[in-house]
Structure 1
Amino acid sequence: MPLVAAADDPAEFHAPGMEEFFPEMIFGQPDGWFAFDRLMLVRLVVAAVLLLLLWLAVRRVTLVPGRGQAVVELLVDFVRLQIVEQIMGKERAKPFLPMLTVIFVTILAMNLASVIPFLNIGGTSRVGLPLVMAVWVLLTYLAAGVRAQGLGKYLRGQLFPPGIPWPMYIIITPIEILQVFILRPATLTIRLTVAMVAGHLMLVLAFAATHFLLLEASAGMTVFAPVTLFGGLFITVLEVFISALQAFIFTILSAVYLNFALEDH
């Protein structure tokens, strides 16, 4: 329900909707190949800043790390020790550590854009970027499984689980095909996108309501502005936590799927 000011004040509060994630084009057409809007600009800015910070941190690697190098090493060690090696084991994890580190750091940076002033929207809050990451994981675990086991053995192990009476494969195999090729990348994509969409909408709702109550609503409603402002600040802190959590979940599930592909059964 729209929040309407007093009867003598025509001001009306409009709650944010999905149009937040489809802003006006900076150039190009919405249905064209070169559509470029504010969200795409945010992605490019975050990517450029992330690359710059990483370059500045590691351009002069020393045995005793400085602050920037220490932060990068902390991130790499976190992904290696707390995610990849925990799931895959030390030796099996080595080839995939660079990929999973890039995934974690990129998603974390894109997520945190939602609480950075003047950006104010996560680069992962529209499905394109999460889908690209999920397809990367899909192609990698398919390639890893085929390389480790051979095409026939890999597909047989994934789609025809051993120890099941053969008539059951009529039911089980289509489910396994759906899981391996569709559900795994889909769950990665949807979980990340939905979390960031929900967080952005809550932030916009809280701060837009604060702006409305302070500047547009009747005087009697101004008293509620501190409530919505506090709610917005609380959601901001929560959004930082969720941003890190979603990067962690995406990376750990990617490691799980890669590990599945390398298992004989």
Structure 2
Amino acid sequence: MFTQTATLIATSAGEGPEFHGPSIDEFFPEAIFTFPGLVLFGEPLSITRIHLIQFLAVIAIVLIFWLGTRRMTVVPGRFQSLVEMGLDFVRVNVAEDLLGKKDGQRFLPILTTIFFMVLFMNITGIIPFLNIAGTSIIAVPLLLAVISYVTFIYAGLKKSPKNFFKNALFPSGVPPFLYIIVTPLEFISTFIVRPVTLTLRLLMNMIVGHLMLVLFFAATQFFLLDLGGWWSALAAGSLAFGLAFTLFEILVAVLQAYVFTILTAVYIQLAVAEEH
């Protein structure tokens, strides 16, 4: 019902209907298109349903911002106002709030891109007939985490080419004999843990959200259509939970976009701080 891959019924001889919950296999759909001439990691390049959803999200972003900014006026209409509100949210609450006006303007394009890319790909998880987030496979979260990581290092090197890595790995105020412990920890936490946590936080939230939604709506179909009778009362309950969790997933989609963007801004702010 909620997803094409949530097959609920397996009726075998002499047995009643059997419930099949959501599976991790949903995040590894079969290829829709395959390009035999293009090989990646030893396998032909292929396009799956999730890739198509990602393409749709990107097209939606480009289309919305193109339509909202192509004929800008001093007195904006409703659609232009909505687009400007979204852009101002990132500019005021993320870029300028953390980085100040000068650095905020420098890094505003990449922060805005990250926010809306994550938001639009997250929100596809609750759109009917799409029903899975474009960020629920590791490629997109990992790519954005790498971009965030590279931007952080670029900002630090641009600010202080000679002292960036020195200050990051050998913080001031630490007794020299402790650097043998502190420096490896700083290296792991700054240059390894940050991109890993950015990737996994977004990925796992989207995976769990999808599995929960499939579970609730799959249970609704199972109770209502396959068991029937008084089981329909449970269907009403699982449907209510499904609808409530859908609203919660909208909140999570927005929140994860905001968290990913603001953490990127925090890392940039640390890189361009005066001590670097």
Q: Which amino acid aligns with 1:73?
A: E
* Structure 2 match to 1:250: 260
Structure 1 equivalent of residue 202 of structure 2: 192
**TM-score by structure 1 length?**
0.93
- In the alignment, structure 2 segments of 5+ residues that lack a partner are 1-7
Aligned match of 2:28 in 18, 22, 29?
22
Equivalent residue, structure 2, for 1:93: 104
Q: Cα deviations across residues 63-111 of structure 1 (Å, max 9, x unaligned)?
A: 1111221111101111111112221122221100111011111111111
Deviation at 1:189, TM superposition (A): 0.7
Question: Which whole-Å CA distance do the structure 2 matches of 1:143 and 1:49 have between them?
Answer: 30
Match status 1:223 vs 2:229: no
- State the partner residue of 1:181: 191
Q: Which runs of 5+ in 1 are unaligned?
A: none
User: Match for residue 113 of structure 2?
Assistant: 102
Is 1:201 the equivalent of 2:211?
Answer: yes
Q: How does 1:93-132 map to 2 (within 5 A)?
A: 93-132=104-143
Alignment length (residue pairs): 262
Partner of 1:234: 244
Q: Could you tell me how far 1:223 is from its partner in structure 2? A: 2.3
- Compute the RMSD of aligned alpha carbons: 2.1
In structure 2, what is the Cα distance between the partners aligned to 1:84 and 1:45? 27
**SS of 1:26's equivalent?**
strand
Counterparts in 2 of 1:52 and 1:4: CA distance versus 1, 3 Å: closer
Q: Does 1:67 align with 2:88?
A: no
* Distance in 1 between residues matched to 2:102 and 2:200, nearest whole Å: 31
Task: Say which SS state the counterpart of residue 224 (structure 1) adopts.
Answer: helix
Output the CA distance in 1 between the equivalents of 2:63 and 2:201: 29
Q: Percent identity?
A: 43
Q: Which residue of 1 aligns with 2:160?
A: 149
Query: TM (normalized to structure 2)?
Result: 0.90
Whole-Å separation in 1 of the counterparts to 2:259 and 2:201? 9
Query: What CA distance in whole angstroms lies between the structure 2 residues aligned with 1:96 and 1:138?
Result: 13
Q: Secondary structure at the match of 2:32?
A: strand
Shift of 1:33: 5.3
TM-superposed CA distance for 1:57, in Å, is 1.1
Distance 2:94 2:157 in 1: 23
> Does the 8 Å CA contact 2:9/2:17 hold for their aligned counterparts?
no
How far off its partner does 1:27 sit?
A: 2.5
Question: Residue 222 of structure 1: CA displacement?
Answer: 2.2
Q: What residue identity is the alignment partner of 1:177? A: F
Distance (whole Å) between structure 2 residues aligned to residue 208 and residue 72 of structure 1: 36
Asked if 2 retains the 8 angstrom alpha-carbon contact of 1:149 and 1:264, the reply is no
